[in-house]
Amino acid sequence: MPLVKVDRNGQITIPKALRAILGIREGDVLEIGIQGGNIILKPGSAVDTVPAGQRFFEAMDEIRAGMTDADP
Protein backbone atom coordinates (compact mmCIF):
# COMPACT_ATOMS: atom_id res chain seq x y z
CA MET A 1 0.00 0.00 0.00
CA PRO A 2 1.57 3.33 -1.04
CA LEU A 3 2.21 6.04 1.55
CA VAL A 4 1.24 9.65 0.91
CA LYS A 5 2.29 12.76 2.81
CA VAL A 6 -0.11 15.45 3.98
CA ASP A 7 1.17 18.92 3.05
CA ARG A 8 0.76 22.09 5.11
CA ASN A 9 -2.61 22.79 3.46
CA GLY A 10 -3.93 19.34 4.39
CA GLN A 11 -3.63 18.13 0.79
CA ILE A 12 -2.45 14.74 -0.42
CA THR A 13 -1.57 13.42 -3.86
CA ILE A 14 -3.24 10.22 -5.02
CA PRO A 15 -0.49 8.14 -6.64
CA LYS A 16 -0.60 8.00 -10.45
CA ALA A 17 -0.98 4.21 -10.54
CA LEU A 18 -4.05 4.35 -8.29
CA ARG A 19 -5.56 7.22 -10.31
CA ALA A 20 -5.07 5.18 -13.49
CA ILE A 21 -6.65 2.04 -12.00
CA LEU A 22 -9.66 4.01 -10.73
CA GLY A 23 -9.99 6.28 -13.76
CA ILE A 24 -9.56 9.46 -11.71
CA ARG A 25 -8.64 12.43 -13.89
CA GLU A 26 -7.79 16.08 -13.24
CA GLY A 27 -10.95 18.01 -12.42
CA ASP A 28 -12.90 14.98 -11.18
CA VAL A 29 -14.95 15.50 -8.03
CA LEU A 30 -14.56 13.02 -5.15
CA GLU A 31 -16.62 12.65 -2.00
CA ILE A 32 -14.67 12.12 1.22
CA GLY A 33 -15.94 10.59 4.43
CA ILE A 34 -15.06 8.51 7.45
CA GLN A 35 -16.09 4.88 7.81
CA GLY A 36 -14.84 2.60 10.56
CA GLY A 37 -11.95 4.94 11.34
CA ASN A 38 -10.83 5.01 7.70
CA ILE A 39 -10.93 7.85 5.20
CA ILE A 40 -13.09 6.90 2.22
CA LEU A 41 -12.89 8.58 -1.19
CA LYS A 42 -15.46 7.87 -3.89
CA PRO A 43 -16.63 9.51 -7.12
CA GLY A 44 -18.84 12.46 -6.35
CA SER A 45 -21.33 14.68 -8.06
CA ALA A 46 -20.37 18.05 -9.49
CA VAL A 47 -23.77 19.33 -8.38
CA ASP A 48 -24.34 19.48 -4.64
CA THR A 49 -28.02 19.49 -3.74
CA VAL A 50 -27.35 20.56 -0.14
CA PRO A 51 -26.34 24.19 0.44
CA ALA A 52 -22.66 24.42 1.46
CA GLY A 53 -23.43 26.23 4.70
CA GLN A 54 -25.91 23.57 5.76
CA ARG A 55 -23.48 20.75 4.95
CA PHE A 56 -20.72 22.50 6.93
CA PHE A 57 -22.84 22.91 10.06
CA GLU A 58 -24.16 19.33 9.82
CA ALA A 59 -20.59 18.03 9.53
CA MET A 60 -19.45 20.11 12.49
CA ASP A 61 -22.35 18.81 14.59
CA GLU A 62 -21.40 15.21 13.68
CA ILE A 63 -17.76 15.82 14.54
CA ARG A 64 -18.68 17.35 17.91
CA ALA A 65 -20.95 14.39 18.63
CA GLY A 66 -18.19 11.94 17.67
CA MET A 67 -20.27 10.46 14.86
CA THR A 68 -18.96 8.83 11.68
CA ASP A 69 -20.57 7.23 8.62
CA ALA A 70 -20.28 3.89 10.44
CA ASP A 71 -22.49 5.12 13.30
CA PRO A 72 -26.26 4.38 13.19
pLDDT of residue 11: 94
The single-letter code of the amino acid at 52 is A
pLDDT in tens, 1-50: 889 999 999 999 999 999 898 888 888 888 888 889 899 888 876 665 56
Structural domain spans, the chain:
1-72
| pTM: predicted TM-score of the whole model, two decimal places | 0.56
Sorted by sequence, the CB contacts under 8 Å of residue 31 that are 6+ apart come out as: 41, 42, 43, 44, 45
- Which residues share a beta bridge with 33? 40
pLDDT of residue 15: 93
What is the CATH code for 1-72? 2.10.260.10
pLDDT of residue 4: 94
